[in-house]
């Protein structure tokens, strides 16, 4: 057997050799002074490195970390993303709902708006105007959606149910993503 | 291991205080890793706080089939890399750093002069100094194996490398450290 490589010496010292290889190394060591020297040297080196002093954190380190965790504030980015996520989700859900319920839902909204207008004062008028804007936006989205569906229908001969399926299929990943982000924010304490 | 999983479940159920036990268990091994990678104690403690916050906010992503210790070290490893990137500290890629390998061949000739000098106490400071000089990718492997006592398999998992490559690199890291120790003489 040739002289042992430093790598083999380490493997032997760290008991990382197969029983056969270990036997061969032992056999060689009996007859080779140079390798015995190498072995003693590496053994000392390993012993020295395993006894390196450990760095210790300050005694109040855990408290400091826990304080930061418990007092975790709400980040600006988190608020923006959460609000945007929720607004997108609610808007898309409403569009979907209007599409499913048809024009009757829009009429219900309009009646609600009219009765609100009739029975409220300045503050509620403002709210009602906001509601009108939202309804207008929804109407635009709805009619745009209808136009897109019509165009698509002329190409693909799909019925209303298939389109609803397509719409839900598109919304589902968004919903999952929204819930995923929401869960993360909830857990990290950003929303609590 | 089972207790740790139970602890994680408690934290995920909203018992934030239970995280203190995780911090207590891992603060010393992580400080030994992070501290020796950045060499400055205050910076290391700041980084360590950030690492624990990251662990806490990512805990819901933890897959319980994966060893928790490896997962924690992986987060710490990524955080240290980010720290270096932000500070624009360059780390040599291991593949290109072959300087020590050719010198390994002459090592056995120097054995006799070294042997007598291994007095444990005296060597500690020398090893610490040599460790600081060891380039970061080698130092990291060395610390994980000999200070944090991670297994080769755990290190392979953290670094995303084959087991054989990890074993070989850790061997090289040891020999490089030995060379640096010789230079300290």
The total of structural domains in chain B comes to 2
- Among candidate residues B57, B86, B115, the one where a domain is terminated: B86
Residues A38 and A117 in one domain: no
Contacts of B125 by beta carbon, 8 Å cutoff, 6+ apart = none
Q: What is the pLDDT of residue A107?
A: 72
> Which residues of chain B have a CB within 8 Å of the CB of A64?
49
Pick from B15, B26, B109, B111 the residue to mutate for testing the A interface (most A CBs within 10 Å).
B111
> Are A85 and A175 in contact, with CB atoms under 8 Å apart?
no
**8 Å CB contact of A53 and B124:** yes
The CATH number given to whatever domain includes residue B139 is: 1.10.10.10
Residues A116 and A78 in one domain: yes
Residues B38 and B102 in one domain: no
Q: What is the DSSP letter of B88?
A: T
Give residue-wise pLDDT tens across range B65-120.
889 999 999 999 999 999 988 876 655 555 544 444 333 333 443 444 455 555 66
Q: Which has the closest alpha carbon to A145: A66, A81, A82, A92?
A: A92
**How far does the CA of residue B80 sit from the closest CA of chain A (Å)?**
17
> Which residues of chain B have a CB within 8 Å of the CB of A38?
108, 111
Q: What is the pLDDT of residue A64?
A: 92
As a whole-number percent, the residues of chain A with pLDDT over 70 amount to 70
Q: What is the pLDDT of residue B31?
A: 94
Give residue-wise pLDDT tens across range A97-124.
666 666 566 677 777 777 766 766 666 7
Q: What is the pLDDT of residue B102?
A: 37
Contacts of B78 by beta carbon, 8 Å cutoff, 6+ apart = none
Residues B71 and B20 in one domain: yes
Most confident region among A74-88, B85-99, B149-163 by mean pLDDT: B149-163
> Which residues of chain A have a CB within 8 Å of the CB of B168?
7
Choose among B23, B115, B128: nearest Cβ to A37: B115
**8 Å CB contact of A52 and B53:** no
The CATH number given to whatever domain includes residue B71 is: 1.10.1740.10
Residues A86 and A150 in one domain: yes
Question: What ipTM describes this predicted complex?
Answer: 0.77
**How far does the CA of residue A185 sit from the closest CA of chain B (Å)?**
9
Residues A109 and A29 in one domain: no
Residues B54 and B136 in one domain: no
Residues B7 and B79 in one domain: yes
**How far does the CA of residue A181 sit from the closest CA of chain B (Å)?**
11
Residues A85 and A22 in one domain: no
Residues A106 and A19 in one domain: no
Separation between Cα atoms, residue A113 and residue A90, nearest integer Å: 19
Asked if residue A64 belongs to a domain, the reply is no
- Residue that wins the pLDDT comparison between A145 and A12: A12
Answer whether A70 touches B (CB < 8 Å).
yes
Residues B177 and B117 in one domain: yes
The rounded mean pLDDT for chain A is 77
**8 Å CB contact of A57 and B178:** no
Asked if residue A62 belongs to a domain, the reply is no
The rounded mean pLDDT for chain B is 82
Residues B62 and B119 in one domain: no
Most confident region among A43-52, A58-67, B125-134 by mean pLDDT: A58-67
Asked if residue A143 belongs to a domain, the reply is yes
Cα nearest neighbour of B27 on chain A = A57
- Residue that wins the pLDDT comparison between A167 and A130: A130
Residues B131 and B173 in one domain: yes
The total of structural domains in chain A comes to 2
Residues A34 and A81 in one domain: no
Asked if residue A63 belongs to a domain, the reply is no
Residues B104 and B139 in one domain: yes
**8 Å CB contact of A54 and B28:** yes
As a whole-number percent, the residues of chain A with pLDDT over 90 amount to 16
> Are B150 and B144 in contact, with CB atoms under 8 Å apart?
yes
Least confident window among A11-20, A38-47, A52-61, A82-91: A82-91
Least confident window among A17-26, A137-146, B106-115, B129-138: B106-115
Cα nearest neighbour of A9 on chain B = B171
Least confident window among A52-61, B19-28, B82-91: B82-91
Residues A118 and A151 in one domain: yes
**8 Å CB contact of A52 and B147:** yes
Q: What is the pLDDT of residue B100?
A: 41
Residues B126 and B67 in one domain: no
**How far does the CA of residue B22 sit from the closest CA of chain A (Å)?**
9
Q: Which has the closest alpha carbon to A9: A1, A17, B149?
A: A17
Q: What size, in residues, is chain A?
A: 192
Q: Residue A87: which domain range?
A: 72-188
Q: Residue B47: which domain range?
A: 2-86
Exposure class string for A89-114: b at 16+ Cβ within 10 A, else e? beebebbbebbeeeeebeeebeeebe
Separation between Cα atoms, residue B22 and residue A131, nearest integer Å: 50
Q: What is the pLDDT of residue B140?
A: 93
Residues A122 and A31 in one domain: no
Please list the alpha-helical segments (H only) found in chain B. Answer: 2-12, 19-38, 41-58, 68-86, 99-104, 111-115, 120-133, 136-146, 152-159, 163-184
Q: What is the pLDDT of residue A181?
A: 67
Residues A76 and A158 in one domain: yes
- Among candidate residues B31, B60, B86, the one where a domain is terminated: B86
Residues A22 and A78 in one domain: no
**8 Å CB contact of B146 and A49:** yes
Separation between Cα atoms, residue B91 and residue B64, nearest integer Å: 32
Q: What is the pLDDT of residue A122?
A: 66
Residues A113 and A45 in one domain: no
Separation between Cα atoms, residue B14 and residue A186, nearest integer Å: 10
Q: What is the pLDDT of residue A84?
A: 75
Give residue-wise pLDDT tens across range A134-186.
888 888 887 887 777 777 666 665 666 666 676 777 777 777 777 766 665 55
Q: What is the pLDDT of residue A171?
A: 75
């Amino acid at each position: 057997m040739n002289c042992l490589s430093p790598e083999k010496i380490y493997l032997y010292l760290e008991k990382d050799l197969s029983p056969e290889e270990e036997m061969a190394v032992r056999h060689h060591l009996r007859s080779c002074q140079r390798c015995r020297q190498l072995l003693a040297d590496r053994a000392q080196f390993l012993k020295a490195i395993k006894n390196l002093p450990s760095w210790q954190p300050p005694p109040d380190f855990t408290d400091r970390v826990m304080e930061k965790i418990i007092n975790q504030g709400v980040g600006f980015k988190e608020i923006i993303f959460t609000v945007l996520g929720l607004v997108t989700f609610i808007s898309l859900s409403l569009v979907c709902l209007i599409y499913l319920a048809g024009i009757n839902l829009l009429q219900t909204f309009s009646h609600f708006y009219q009765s609100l207008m009739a029975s409220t004062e300045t503050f509620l008028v403002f709210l009602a105007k906001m509601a009108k804007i939202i309804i207008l936006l929804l109407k635009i989205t709805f009619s745009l959606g209808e136009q897109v569906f019509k165009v698509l229908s002329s190409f693909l001969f799909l019925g209303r149910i298939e389109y609803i399926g397509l719409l839900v299929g598109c919304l589902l990943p968004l919903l999952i993503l929204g819930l995923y982000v929401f869960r993360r924010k909830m857990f990290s304490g950003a929303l609590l | 291991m089972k207790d740790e999983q139970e602890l994680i479940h408690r934290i995920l159920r909203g018992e934030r205080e239970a995280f203190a036990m995780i911090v207590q268990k891992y603060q010393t091994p992580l400080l030994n890793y992070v501290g020796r990678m950045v060499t400055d104690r205050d910076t290391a403690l700041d980084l360590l706080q950030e690492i624990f916050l990251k662990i806490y906010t990512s805990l819901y992503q933890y897959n319980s089939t994966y060893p928790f210790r490896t997962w924690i070290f992986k987060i710490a490893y990524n955080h240290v890399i980010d720290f270096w990137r932000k500070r624009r500290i360059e780390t040599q890629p291991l593949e290109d750093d072959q300087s020590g390998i050719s010198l390994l061949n002459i090592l056995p000739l120097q054995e006799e002069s070294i042997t007598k000098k291994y007095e444990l106490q005296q060597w500690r400071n020398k090893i610490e100094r040599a460790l600081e000089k060891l380039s970061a990718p080698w130092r990291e492997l060395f610390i994980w194996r000999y200070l944090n006592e991670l297994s080769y398999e755990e290190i392979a998992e953290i670094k995303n490398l084959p087991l054989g490559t990890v074993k070989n690199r850790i061997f090289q890291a040891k020999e490089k450290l030995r060379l640096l120790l010789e230079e300290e003489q």
